[in-house]
Amino acid sequence: MAFTLDGDDVCQPISPTPIPDPYWVGFSSSAAQLIGIELSDDGYPRDPQWLEVLAGNSLEVSNHQFTNPIATVYSGHQFGVWAGQLGDGRAILLGEIAGQELQLKGAGMTRYSRMGDGRAVLRSSIREFLCSEAMHALGIPSTRALSIVGSPLPVRRETMETAAVCSRLAPSFIRIGHFEHFASSQQYVRLKELADLLIRNHYPECLNAEQPYLDLYSKICERNAILVAQWQSVGFCHGVLNSDNISALGLTMAYGPFGFLDHFQIDHVCNHSDQAGRYAYHRQPQIMHSNMACLASAFLPLIESSCDEAKAQTILRDALEHFPRVYAKTWQTLFRSKLGFEVSHENDIGLIERLIQAMHDSRVDFTSFFRQLGSVRQEQKPAELLLRDQFIDRPLIDCWFGDYLERLKLESSDDIKRKSKMNAINPKYILRNHLAQTAIENAQNGDYAEVSRLLRILSKPYDEQAEYEDYSIAPPDSLQKIAVSCSS
């Protein structure tokens, strides 16, 4: 359901700023199905007016008119520091269609643009488009990306680039920052309206709870604890886990500087602007927990409506501490499955942690290793495994494989069934930075075929796709450190 709060203190009614000479760069037929867009044989909308709408040049298409486009205000903590009022500085919510909110990123300036120009560039739009759809295909909750529309309109970043508009879909784009904004500005009526909106449209089970707002808070925490465990399980680094970039629905959102791990480094930082490593891979659970603490502070006025301040703080503190328990349980379950374990054993966590440390020490490719692990047979000996060649310390990894092979004997599945189950959780294809960079460079030269090809490959990340084997291989050392910044 669309964001239905209105008023000058909540949002700015604003139409997108048109771009000249729009053209298709990428389109997701999968996302299009969510809102019932009819497609031509080429995979693009049958109605050409969709190009104008998704470029921000029109508000009407196929008997549907977006009558109230808005940009919303929110606040938040950025890199651990209170940043005050923020808001949709270049994202405009067109409205609701078929139960999804449709938002254009890069659609022009709003009153929340601050010093920005309200535009997005082709480079960052391609990355967001591909990663949004890749995450969905991996089974990880995410906002969806419907399209990229390009334009020759020049946009200055570090260098002169061209503009693009990325259209996004989600049941709601409500962020933790929306709650923080109304709580920090003591707009408690608005805060309650926002919570009620979220319960009514997205968490209806909370209506019957003894304390609906506490139940809502707990469920938001739970969804985001599960989400960050899923990120860890596929080696995904968000890059800018500010509180204003966290979804109240537990969706991956705000794809800026992000990256999937290639050669595993537990303290990998994907955003070169994050010089302190605040959002490094191994710190993501801690940072998400911190963001849930920010949300707890914002929820305090809601809980205080039914009890005194001291009790409200205690209740929220207890609810917050459920986060690490949910995260740990989910993480353990996911990594057990990645190793092919269907039942739990007391030594499993130690076995997982030993492997992760060994992978870090040897910079083993995260995705390829877990995918290949499914081919290990119980009757093999450690010295016979080609996987051991990826590790520097052979005696250490031989010891680990010995323990792993013994552990597999406790499983009921045979090697064939186990491999099938492991391949269903260990992807073969992820959006590696060097692959995205190739698609970007081709697109900047007017060739958009690689964007479509990558989208097709990433839509089936667990399939073998023999014709695209090269896309599953780790990049050479020369392409390992492609830098990604907040500039987009």
Q: What is the pLDDT of residues 175-211, one digit of tens each?
A: 999 999 999 999 999 999 999 999 999 999 999 999 9
pLDDT tops 70 at residue 122: yes
Helix, coil or strand: residue 250: coil
Residues 289, 323 contacting (CB under 8 angstroms): yes
- Residue 299 pLDDT: 97
CA pair distance 186, 20, nearest whole angstrom = 42
pLDDT in tens, 42-90: 999 999 999 999 999 999 998 889 999 999 999 999 999 999 999 999 9
Is 0.85 surpassed by the pTM of this model?
A: yes
What digits encode the pLDDT tens for the residues 222-260? 999 999 999 999 999 999 999 999 999 999 999 989 999
CA end-to-end distance (rounded Å), the chain: 28
Strand residue runs (E) in 157-246 = 160-170, 236-237
Residue 43's pLDDT is what? 93
pLDDT digits (tens, 9 = 90+) for 152-181: 999 999 899 999 999 999 999 999 999 999
pLDDT in tens, 329-362: 999 999 999 999 998 999 999 999 999 999 999 9
Quick check: 483 pLDDT over 80?
Answer: no
Query: Of residues 159 and 483, which shows the higher confidence score?
Result: 159
Question: Distance between CA atoms of 290 and 242, rounded to whole angstroms?
Answer: 10
Q: Is the pLDDT confidence value at 1 over 60?
A: no
Query: How far lies 8's CA from each of 93, 249, 411, in Å?
Result: 15, 25, 60
**What's CA 274's distance to the chain center, in Å?**
18
Convert the pLDDT of each residue in 128-139 to its tens digit.
999 999 999 999
Label residue 2 by pLDDT band (50, 70, 90).
Answer: low
To the query of whether residue 244 is one of the catalytic residues in this protein, the response is yes
Distances (CA, A) of 213 to 179, 189, 284, 290, 318: 12, 14, 26, 19, 14
Query: What pLDDT shows up at residue 383?
Result: 87
- Given the residues 88, 215, 244, 262, the one annotated as active site: 244
